[in-house]
Amino acid sequence: MHRKLFVAFNVLLVAAFVWSLAVDYKKDWRDIQAEYFKKTAAAYAEKAKSAKDPKEAETFNQLSKAALREPIMIRQIIAKDLNRIDRCITCHVGMDEFVNPTLTTPHKEHPFTGHPKLGEIVKNHTFQKYGCSVCHAGQGLATSVEAAHGKTENWEKPLAKGALLQASCAKCHMNFQSLKGAEMVAKGRDLFEKHGCIGCHSLHGVGGAVSVDLGNIADKPLERIAPFNLSLIKTKDGKPLPKDDWKLPAWIEAHLTNVPMSFIPNDPHAQYNKEPIAPSGMPDFTQEIKHEGADAITAYLLSMSEEENIPHKYHVIREAKPEPKFASAGDHGKFVFKKYGCAACHGLEGVAGRRNYNAMGAGQPALDDVKADKAKLHEAMAMGREPTLPDVLGTYTREELKKKIQDGVPGSQIAKYNPDGPTPPLYMPAWKDRIKGQELEDLITWLLSIAKKQESW
Amino acid sequence: MPETATPPQQNGGGFKLPDFDTLKKEVIDSQIWRSMFRGGVWKDTPRDRAAHIIGNVWLHLHPVKVRPRALHWTYTWGLGGISFMLFLILTVTGVLLMFYYRPTVDLAYRDMKDLEFAVTLGVLMRNMHRWAAQAMVVFVILHMVRVFLTGAYKKPREFNWGIGVILLTLTLFLSFTGYLLPWDQLAIWAVTVGTNMAGATPFLGNEGPFGALMGMRINNDVRFTLLGGTMVGENTLIRFYVLHCVAVPLITGILLIVHFWRVRKDSFSAAPIDPAEEKVDVWPNLVGREYIAAAGCLLAIMIWSILMNAPLEIVANPNVTPNPSKAPWYFVGLQELLVYFDPWIAGVVMPNLIIVGLMAIPYIDTNPKGIGFYSLKERPFANAMFLLGVAMWFILIYIGYYCRGPNFAWFNPWESWLNQKPAMPPTWNIFGPLEGAVPFTFKMAADIVGGRLGGLEPGVVPNLMPGWLGAIVLGGMGGFLMIGPKLIQKDIPGKTANLAFIGAMAVVAVLGKIFAGLPVMQGLWLVFFAWTGFYFGFLLPQRHIRQLEWPRYLFTMFLVLNTVAVPLKMGARLAFNVKYVLTFPTISLNI
């Protein structure tokens, strides 16, 4: 019995060791790299066949043989200045400058292709100096597909795709608004200004304080998103956000492609807390901004990183913008309205107030009718609105309006629809320290100009 | 063509391959071989087998012969040997890992990634090291349980049991120091939780009782010494690295030698001596079994490591605390105790009492029966108390590890942590100063008991009865429970007493249901926890250890009551939201 166990265990131990070696050896990147060189050799052989000049054919044959002789190994770029080691070229061999100096391959399918778009950008950012992940994000150290593309739970930054890739340009190029190739970030910045995001979210301390500062939003750790149920987020096709994508880019984008209230419901009926907590107060931008705009704004926000240790010499300074000139006081007032992000609550050019949960709003049913039904009550509370400016402005004199803008309206003074419900999340900040002098005068001039005329008796 | 058919003269007297036996003899009798291995050709005589043990540096810690009773798998289960094998696996894989690992904040995590993605067999090495470390904690505990249940710590093995207890704590400490090295979120926050408890050490910690009196601050107390800073950082990493790779393994190794030496000197097995039993040769009987256990252990760890990857979370970030942050699993039980007790009790007094209590066991257990075999009947008290302790250790770990979610709120294992939880119900104290507290009414008590107290201001803890009364009541109860069992000379009949007590508690529960609206579940909890206290804290000692002489008796009862206090306080907190039984906030004495 013991003799048999002795023999069996020894045999199994050797087998387990061989097994572990096999597991260690059998890596996807090995197959991929071998496949790449095989394909390359085949392509050269093909060229040799069709070549008319025998000398040329001989060269191609040599190249074909050389490709097959290439060792299968981990290939990496050590980007010293940027403190990165990127092993992406272990699979994407066609993008290794030493193996494939032209960076183009005849292969059509990933990961055997060369680098797409070989224009100025690639020319100015040699791979040996910059590596891959500083632009493309993902996990440069990894050599397995899932991990390298940042899909695993233990990596914060997933591969940057599509418009989001442009966020990386703006990390160094402060002049991204005039930079070729960074159009989406520039567009994101324009949209950010146009829709008044700055009214609530400051950037590095400049802007409103109603919600969080977005100056380093790209560094927000996963741990801070973890408490939210991200399965409440709906993707483009209406499905819940897949677990693979529970990362920062999807989280930022969801604020613009979903109604924020729907995936940050909080506790409006005080079921879990002593006091009711309103759902996310962020207005619903889905109709105005659409998916493409959301992509652009997300790209812009993802460039807001303070953590990345990019040496200062890599930064490109933003050019000065000319001071805008205005034909009339009204035009200036309209610009001021946009500049301070008033549109976030009062709508583009002040046309329509946005949602303010549990505030008073047009079309709300009588409280007593819906009080019993939680779903209906929630719906009615969600109909709360910020005031629609043209409707109410006419009731103010110039002095009253000035005072209102200067002092603002704190949340506690906003009339609640449901007295037992939470304090409405949006409020009018006091602007007296920010909008003053000519800006304030001209803003009021413009505001009064859009007011609906009151009936006078 | 077979060689025998070849006529020898055809080779013309040239080279001829000697047959195997001649060759073997030639080799064994050569000067080189004989200089390395004593004894000539193996003839498998008793003398040969004895010489094999005595003449071999690796085997000579064994006796030459051993009683066959000690060889039964079902006696030792090979647990001690497996623990040592795991230590060896850890040493070898650990040394290999040291070739690749640099203990600095910038590089540690990157080196983990290199091991995972670029180093040949790196994943296997790291997995084996991780899993063997976890397994070693488990097997050392199992080994201790086995030694206890077979009474193998009794005279003359008391001292070796003590060495064993120290080795157990060293095993935990080795595992704990290693926990930090990957420098991921799991690592720094588990170590933060673990080391924060040190800050609550009485006298030596800045948050512990009398700490301020001793001039302890956050930057000069015992926690600071351990961390090399006020928070887990670069200094902590290098400290833990040196402790993990050099200091603790060295001490462990030395104590292991003492441990083995004593095992050998204490005649290898505690199994009772049977004159009719004839000893058998250690080679191959024992050595073979040891090899099989070790090989099986290595095999299991290897297969496990091939199939399961060691966890590695996001890189450590001192600014982002995961919610919840948990200690390494073997300390999660102590962390769970923090829910029920103040940190200096849960994190310092309890673990020290456990260590001291374990080491004291051989000196207070004078029961001469049940040495060398498993028997619950001959040692009912010792086994019951010990198993209660072990069970509580693992139940607390289970609760802490599987039932605690964000904010350390109770989540059933199948519940998603994304579910929102109602706020914790308000807590109250039984005894404490009445000044400044919310005036407490019995209606309030009834509402708390019935789970209907919604109107209490958060943070304001009502005290039911004055603190001086609590000191008298608790002191009196403690005093009675300490000496009562010994004073009652007559043996209390076990079954009757149990039934009577459960019946009485059931009556209390029913009365509570009628007058205070006590929910049924809480009524059941009341009966269960009160009975646990009664049975282990009073009935068992009364029936089994009242004959002990006073000093031994009192020390035993002290340990018993401390053990029993844990489930009692758990019951009070989980079922009745009692924060403290007795509190004196002015001197931070909270029980």
ipTM value: 0.89
- Domain assignment of residue B567, given as a range: 429-590
Q: Which of B109, B110, B113, B305 to mutate to test the interface with A (most CBs of A within 10 A)?
A: B113
Quote the Cα angle for A252-A256-A261, to 5°.
95
Contact B124 A143 (CB under 8 A): no
In a domain, B223, yes or no: yes
The answer to whether residues B377 and B504 belong to one domain is no
Question: Dihedral through CA B520, CA B525, CA B526, CA B529, nearest 10?
Answer: 170
The per-type count for chain A, helices as H runs and strands as E runs, is 20, 2
Beta-carbon neighbour count of residue B120 at 10 Å? 10
Quote the Cα angle for A247-A252-A255, to 5°.
130
A436: amino acid identity, one letter: K
Number of domains observed in the structure of chain B: 2
B323: amino acid identity, one letter: N
Integer Cα distance of B508 and A361 in angstroms: 56
Instruction: Give the pair of three-digit tokens for residue B33.
Output: 């071989």
The answer to whether residues B147 and B209 belong to one domain is yes
Contact A272 B124 (CB under 8 A): no
* Residues of chain B found within 8 Å of residue A224, distances taken between Cβ atoms: 320
* Residues of chain B found within 8 Å of residue A279, distances taken between Cβ atoms: none
B11 has pLDDT over 60: no
Per-residue model confidence (pLDDT) at position B86: 97
Fold (topology level) of A166-314: Cytochrome Bc1 Complex; Chain D, domain 2 (1.10.760)
Q: What percentage of chain B carries pLDDT values higher than 90? A: 51
In a domain, B20, yes or no: no
The answer to whether residues B452 and B577 belong to one domain is yes
B438 falls in which pLDDT band (50, 70, 90)? low
Integer Cα distance of A74 and A87 in angstroms: 7
Nearest to A318 by CA among A429, A438, A189, A421: A189
Q: What is the CATH number of the domain that holds B338?
A: 1.20.810.10
Q: What is the 3-state secondary structure (H, E, C) of B491-504?
A: CCCHHHHHHHHHHH
The whole-number average pLDDT for the span B38-45 is: 81
* Residues of chain A found within 8 Å of residue B406, distances taken between Cβ atoms: 227
* Residues of chain A found within 8 Å of residue B304, distances taken between Cβ atoms: none
> Cβ of B317 under 8 Å from any chain A Cβ?
yes
Q: Where are the alpha helices (DSSP H) in B344-462?
A: 350-364, 380-402, 442-449
Q: What's the distance, Cα to Cα, between the start and end of chain A in Å? A: 112
Dump pLDDT digits (tens) for A124-148. 999 999 999 999 999 999 999 999 9
- The chain A residue lying nearest B312, using CA atoms, is A154
CA A335 to centroid of chain Cα atoms: 27
The answer to whether residues B208 and B166 belong to one domain is yes
- The chain B residue lying nearest A3, using CA atoms, is B288
Residues forming beta bridges with residue A173, ordered by sequence position: A316
Minimal Cβ distance to B292: which of A2, A21, A139: A2
Contact A141 B113 (CB under 8 A): yes
B456 has pLDDT over 60: no
The answer to whether residues B440 and B381 belong to one domain is no
Contact B113 A142 (CB under 8 A): yes
Minimal Cβ distance to B422: which of A5, A16, A272: A272
Contact B117 A223 (CB under 8 A): no
Integer Cα distance of A300 and A176 in angstroms: 10
B459 has pLDDT over 70: no
Pairs across A and B, CB distance < 8 A: 94
CB B564 within 8 A of CB B537: yes
Contact B406 A13 (CB under 8 A): no
DSSP readout, A9-64? HHHHHHHHHHHHHHHHH--HHHHHHHHHHHHHHHHHHHHHHH-SSHHHHHHHHHHH
Q: Where are the alpha helices (DSSP H) in A303-364?
A: 329-339, 343-346
Question: Dihedral through CA A118, CA A120, CA A125, CA A127, nearest 10?
Answer: 10
- The chain B residue lying nearest A7, using CA atoms, is B292
Residue where one domain finishes, among candidates B364, B379, B408? B408
Integer Cα distance of A200 and A222 in angstroms: 23
Beta-carbon neighbour count of residue A373 at 10 Å? 11
Dump pLDDT digits (tens) for B491-542. 888 899 999 999 999 999 898 888 877 888 888 988 999 999 999 999 999 9
Integer Cα distance of A268 and A424 in angstroms: 10
Integer Cα distance of A61 and A82 in angstroms: 39
Integer Cα distance of B165 and B171 in angstroms: 10
B4 has pLDDT over 70: no
Minimal Cβ distance to A274: which of B118, B312, B458: B458
Contact B305 A10 (CB under 8 A): no
Quote the Cα angle for A182-A187-A191, to 5°.
155
Per-residue model confidence (pLDDT) at position A361: 85
Per-residue model confidence (pLDDT) at position B94: 97
B452 falls in which pLDDT band (50, 70, 90)? low
Q: Which residues of A touch B (CB under 8 A)?
A: 2-3, 5-6, 9-10, 12-13, 16-17, 19-21, 23-24, 74, 85, 87, 139, 141-144, 147, 153-156, 221-224, 226-229, 231, 267, 271-274
Q: Break chain A into its structural domains and give their ranges.
A: 26-148, 166-314, 329-450
In a domain, B155, yes or no: yes
| Gyration radius from chain B CA atoms | 30
CB B555 within 8 A of CB B547: no
How far is the alpha carbon of B21 from chain A, nearest alpha carbon, in Å?
Answer: 23
Instruction: Give the pair of three-digit tokens for residue A244.
Output: 């693979």
Integer Cα distance of B65 and B55 in angstroms: 14
Residues forming beta bridges with residue A77, ordered by sequence position: A86
Q: Is A355 helix (H, G, I), strand (E, B) or coil?
A: strand
Better-predicted residue by pLDDT, B218 or B463 = B218
The total number of residues written for chain B in this structure = 591
H or E segment at A128?
helix A127-130
Quote the Cα angle for A354-A357-A358, to 5°.
125
Integer Cα distance of A257 and A236 in angstroms: 8
In a domain, B498, yes or no: yes
User: Which residues, given as ranges, of chain A have pLDDT below 50?
Assistant: none
The answer to whether residues B452 and B383 belong to one domain is no
CA-CA distances (angstroms) from residue B545 to A26, B533, B565? Answer: 63, 17, 19
Minimal Cβ distance to B121: which of A24, A222, A231: A24
Q: Which of B72, B420, B424 to mutate to test the interface with A (most CBs of A within 10 A)?
A: B420
Dump pLDDT digits (tens) for B72-125. 888 889 999 999 999 999 999 999 999 999 999 999 999 999 999 999 999 999
How far is the alpha carbon of A164 from chain B, nearest alpha carbon, in Å?
Answer: 22
In a domain, B389, yes or no: yes
CA torsion sign for A41, A45, A47, A53 is positive
- Would you call B235 exposed, middle or buried from its count of C-beta atoms within 10 A (0-12, 13-18, 19+)? middle
| CB proximity list for B92: less than 8 A, separation 6 or greater | none
Integer Cα distance of B272 and A17 in angstroms: 42
The whole-number average pLDDT for the span B131-141 is: 97
B458 has pLDDT over 60: no
pTM: 0.90
B462 falls in which pLDDT band (50, 70, 90)? confident
Dump pLDDT digits (tens) for B368-398. 888 888 888 889 999 999 999 999 999 999 9
Per-residue model confidence (pLDDT) at position A159: 94
Contact B423 A9 (CB under 8 A): no
> Cβ of B320 under 8 Å from any chain A Cβ?
yes
How far is the alpha carbon of A16 from chain B, nearest alpha carbon, in Å?
Answer: 7
Per-residue model confidence (pLDDT) at position B1: 42
The answer to whether residues B500 and B440 belong to one domain is yes
